[in-house]
């Protein structure tokens, strides 16, 4: 009879995610709060299985990947715009037009996730709409108050008083720390400055970029609590 060196280890079965069917519940909880998504937290042999998981997708609102994509696409529009022929095609697709592409602008749009082929036809993606909004919205520096940070989800809640007073806005913590070189522990209660499109109505369209540390004095009156207003 063959002898074993020790007890055979069998990994306990993990609870399946009720929303996707391709991941465990724990994996989706981790992937939803990571820009690496679910496939970035799995072994090589399982990545193809979970690669399209909707729970962590950048197309699913309020995932870390979606928040990161909103900022990435906004900065792309403002800092590294697509060629004019691609922009012309994208605006036509946003209008719902059946657009031709004589100047071959589509490959640039598809490369950046702004457009796709659907049943052989060109179609704008949600990121394409975000890109156009970033071009058309008025963006300006505004004071931002960091309310608190959540280390497990790598998010922060901030208040953008120039947009809506008393309305928390969730942003990625790493965007703030990378821009300001501040530690997460130093952020709660701190006023910063960021660029934002404060004329939008819905929080899902509000995109903050380019966080900066600033002294209190330059902040415009009316955006600070009464006890910290400066003359």
Nearest to 143 by CA among 111, 177, 190, 184: 190
Which has the closest alpha carbon to 216: 195, 189, 177? Answer: 189
pLDDT for the residue numbered 226: 46
* Residue pLDDT, tens place only, 170-200: 999 999 999 999 999 999 999 999 999 999 9
Q: What is the pLDDT of residues 112-157, one digit of tens each?
A: 999 999 999 999 999 999 999 999 999 999 999 999 999 999 999 9
Range with the poorest average pLDDT among 26-30, 83-87, 189-193, 210-214: 26-30
Q: What is the pTM of this model?
A: 0.84
pLDDT exceeds cutoff 50 at 230: no
pLDDT higher than 60, residue 89: yes
DSSP, res 44: G
**Residue 228 to residue 181: CA distance in whole angstroms:** 24
**Domains in the chain and their CATH numbers?**
14-57 (no CATH), 66-136 (no CATH), 140-228 (2.40.50.140)
Say whether pLDDT at 1 is over 50: no
Phi, psi of 215 (to 5 degrees): -70, 160
What confidence score (pLDDT) does residue 7 get?
52
Measured distance between the N- and C-terminal CA atoms of the chain, rounded to whole angstroms: 88
Confidence check: pLDDT of 219 > 60: no
Do the beta carbons of residue 115 and residue 106 sit within 8 Å? yes
Distance of alpha carbon 75 from the chain centroid: 12
pLDDT at 81 over 90: yes
For residues 144 and 191, the answer to whether their CB atoms sit within 8 Å is yes
Q: How far apart are CA 48 and CA 33, in angstroms?
A: 20
Number of neighbours of residue 131 by Cβ within 10 angstroms = 27
Q: What confidence category does residue 5 fall into, taking pLDDT thresholds of 50, 70 and 90?
A: low
Residue-wise pLDDT for 25-67, tens only, equals 888 888 899 998 887 887 776 777 778 898 889 999 999 999 9
Name the residue among 119, 115, 175, 121 with its Cα closest to residue 144: 175
Q: How many residues does the chain have?
A: 231
Task: Give the mean pLDDT of 209-214.
Answer: 95
């Amino acid at each position: 009879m063959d002898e074993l060196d020790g007890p055979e280890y069998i990994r306990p079965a993990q609870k399946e995610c009720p929303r996707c069917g391709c991941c465990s519940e724990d994996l989706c909880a981790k992937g939803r709060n990571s820009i690496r998504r679910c496939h970035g937290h799995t072994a090589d042999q399982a990545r193809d299985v979970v690669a399209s998981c909707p729970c962590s997708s950048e197309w699913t609102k309020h995932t870390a990947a979606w928040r990161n994509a909103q900022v990435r696409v906004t900065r792309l529009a403002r800092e590294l715009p697509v060629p004019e022929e691609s922009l012309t095609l994208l605006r036509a697709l946003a209008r719902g037009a059946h657009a031709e592409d004589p100047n071959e602008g589509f490959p640039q749009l598809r490369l950046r996730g702004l457009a796709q082929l659907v049943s052989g036809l060109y179609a704008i993606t949600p990121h394409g709409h975000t890109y156009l909004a970033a071009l058309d919205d008025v963006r300006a520096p505004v004071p931002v108050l960091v309310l608190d940070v959540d280390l497990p989800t790598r998010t922060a809640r901030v208040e953008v008083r120039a947009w809506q007073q008393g309305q928390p806005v969730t942003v990625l913590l790493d965007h703030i720390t990378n821009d300001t070189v501040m530690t997460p522990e130093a952020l709660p209660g701190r006023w910063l400055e960021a660029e934002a499109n404060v004329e939008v109505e819905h929080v899902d369209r509000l995109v903050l970029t380019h966080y900066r540390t600033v002294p209190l004095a330059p902040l415009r009156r009316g955006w600070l609590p009464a006890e910290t207003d400066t003359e």
